[in-house]
């Protein structure tokens, strides 16, 4: 029997409002929110009641080495509520000494007093969702904060990190937002590194169905950077961050030495993790399960878990990673790549079937190996940086094509 997962993700779905690119399971509460008393407090308290019940319902508790509180906008919560959540894990699961406890925060959703409150509650790593420092781009994307809010938040995090109060923090930007041409993107990158964040995440804009951006695109009312402009933005990202001392350890993530996200590496390495909260996805034993995205349905699901039996995906069993294509995709996203030979061996194919399928994959990837987008070192394959990482979709599509063919 395998050990229980040592990582937990907690989803806090509350936001002031939904950004124009967002399709996450979120609950907008409006601009004026007081989560202990006042506007939105009853909604928050009711959700936390069911969230805590779900956390306690899990039968397979074991000390955690990483906790990630994401959203939504977790910094809408009061520091007392964050402490209550962390204490719940501490008392019922246990938290390892030196555990990484991360919380997402948005500019204009917290102040300096809140920040120190979160730190006192047990948070030792923050992920700041800046997205852009350009007010026009922020407004066009439906963001609530302004440039000055982002700058102030960065200064606070830089200060508490420099004082040794936290272990690390990340500054998050979104690449290829509307109005973000090469000059605007360069300004965003240069501004970001002036705050010396130990970690920087650069996410590509994806137009998701049902979002405001999706509707605007369908109406022909949203101008986005073309593919050529987007590629130039990506090359500029690589150049500026590399020259500033940042190492790209995953397609979307750069860091200074010693500041990789331990929690996110759990996902990319194909290990098991717990997940709690509306719309969140867990995979403790290799089988993924996504909780209901609608509040009423999530609460009904928690009650069923509590009164009857856990979902089958949450029951302790031998860990089997069924989704080979996803494991290869996640492995290739990492700087060190993936040992394809080892991964395919885990499928327990017979020698003939293994050889046939392995050679078919090599055939799919031959042109990428020849062009240098994909590099082979023995049985380990990894994307070249920056070209292979920027054009990774071509390589992944060929792998998915191979996977569909052999199935």
Average pLDDT over residues 214-223: 93
DSSP-assigned beta bridge partners for residue 102? 68, 125
Q: What per-residue confidence (pLDDT) applies to 401? A: 94
Contact between 158 and 195 (Cβ < 8 Å) = yes
Domain positions in the chain: 7-268, 324-406
Residue 368 Cα to chain centre, angstroms: 28
Contact between 381 and 374 (Cβ < 8 Å) = yes
Q: Matching CATH topology for 7-268 and 324-406?
A: no
State which CATH number among 1.10.10, 1.20.1070, 3.40.1580, 1.10.3470 fits the domain covering 324-406.
1.10.10
Closest CA to 157 of 104, 78, 97, 83: 104
Q: What per-residue confidence (pLDDT) applies to 286? A: 83
pTM of the model: 0.94
Q: Is pLDDT above 90 for 407?
A: no
Q: Tell me the pLDDT band of 1, cut-offs 50, 70 and 90.
A: very low
Q: What per-residue confidence (pLDDT) applies to 346? A: 83
Show Cβ contacts of residue 336 under 8 Å, excluding neighbours closer than 6 positions: 380, 382
Q: Tell me the pLDDT band of 321, cut-offs 50, 70 and 90.
A: low
Average pLDDT over residues 49-64: 95
Of the candidate ranges 106-115, 292-301, 303-312, 333-342, the one whose mean pLDDT is the lowest: 303-312
Percent of the chain with pLDDT over 90: 81
How large is the greatest C-alpha to C-alpha distance in the chain, in angstroms?
67
CA–CA separation, 43 vs 63, rounded Å?
Answer: 30
Q: What per-residue confidence (pLDDT) applies to 320? A: 59
Average pLDDT, the chain: 93
CA–CA separation, 339 vs 164, rounded Å?
Answer: 38
Average pLDDT over residues 225-241: 90
Q: What is the pLDDT of residues 191-212, one digit of tens each?
A: 999 999 999 999 999 999 999 9
Could you tell me the two tokens for 116?
Answer: 């120190």
Q: Is pLDDT above 90 for 311?
A: no
Contact between 44 and 77 (Cβ < 8 Å) = yes
Q: What is the pLDDT of residues 359-401, one digit of tens each?
A: 999 999 999 999 999 999 999 999 998 899 988 999 999 999 9
Q: What is the pLDDT of residues 63-104, one digit of tens each?
A: 999 999 999 999 999 999 999 999 999 999 999 999 999 999
Q: Tell me the pLDDT band of 246, cut-offs 50, 70 and 90.
A: very high
Q: Is pLDDT above 70 for 154?
A: yes
Q: What is the pLDDT of residues 266-308, one digit of tens each?
A: 998 878 999 999 999 999 988 889 999 999 999 999 999 988 8
Q: Tell me the pLDDT band of 322, cut-offs 50, 70 and 90.
A: low
Q: What per-residue confidence (pLDDT) applies to 56? A: 95
* Domain 7-268: homologous superfamily in CATH: Aldolase class I (3.20.20.70)
Pair type for strands 281-282 and 289-290 = antiparallel
Give the containing element (helix H, strand E) for 56: helix 41-57
Q: How far from each other are the two terminal CA atoms of the chain, in whole angstroms? A: 29
Q: What per-residue confidence (pLDDT) applies to 226? A: 85
């Amino acid at each position: 029997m395998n050990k229980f997962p040592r990582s937990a993700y907690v989803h806090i779905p509350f936001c002031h409002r939904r950004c124009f690119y967002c399709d996450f399971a979120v609950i907008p509460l409006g601009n004026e929110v007081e989560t202990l008393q006042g506007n939105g407090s009853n909604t928050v308290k009711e959700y936390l009641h069911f969230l805590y019940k779900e956390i306690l319902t899990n039968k397979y508790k074991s000390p955690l080495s990483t906790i990630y509180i994401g959203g939504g906008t977790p910094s809408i919560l009061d520091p007392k509520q964050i402490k209550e959540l962390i204490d719940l894990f501490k008392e019922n699961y246990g938290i390892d000494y030196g555990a990484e406890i991360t919380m997402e925060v948005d500019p204009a959703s917290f102040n300096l007093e809140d920040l120190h409150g979160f730190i006192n509650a047990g948070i030792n790593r923050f992920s700041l969702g800046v997205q852009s420092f350009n007010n026009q781009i922020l407004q066009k994307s439906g963001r609530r904060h302004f440039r000055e809010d982002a700058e102030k938040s960065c200064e606070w995090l830089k200060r508490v990190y420099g004082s040794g109060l936290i272990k690390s923090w990340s500054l998050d930007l979104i690449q290829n937002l509307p109005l973000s041409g090469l000059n605007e993107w360069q300004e965003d990158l240069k501004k970001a590194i002036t705050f010396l964040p130990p970690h920087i995440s650069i996410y590509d804009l994806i137009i998701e169905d049902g979002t405001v951006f999706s509707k605007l695109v369908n109406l022909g009312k949203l101008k986005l950077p073309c593919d050529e402009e987007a590629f130039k933005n990506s090359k500029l990202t690589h150049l500026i961050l590399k020259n500033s001392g940042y190492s790209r350890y995953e397609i979307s993530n750069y860091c200074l030495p010693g500041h990789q996200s331990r929690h996110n590496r759990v996902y990319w390495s194909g290990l098991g993790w717990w997940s709690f909260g509306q719309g969140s996805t867990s995979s403790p034993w290799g089988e993924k399960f996504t909780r209901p995205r609608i509040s009423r349905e999530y609460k009904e699901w928690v009650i069923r878990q509590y009164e009857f039996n856990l979902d089958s995906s949450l029951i302790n069993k031998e860990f089997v990673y069924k989704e080979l294509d996803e494991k290869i995709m996640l492995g290739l996203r990492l700087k060190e790549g993936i040992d394809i030979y080892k991964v395919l061996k885990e499928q327990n194919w017979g020698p003939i079937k293994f050889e046939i399928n392995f050679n078919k994959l090599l055939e799919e990837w031959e042109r990428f190996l020849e062009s240098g987008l994909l590099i082979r070192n023995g049985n380990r394959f990894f994307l070249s940086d920056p070209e292979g990482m920027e054009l990774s979709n071509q390589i992944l599509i060929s792998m998915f094509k191979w996977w569909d063919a052999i199935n």
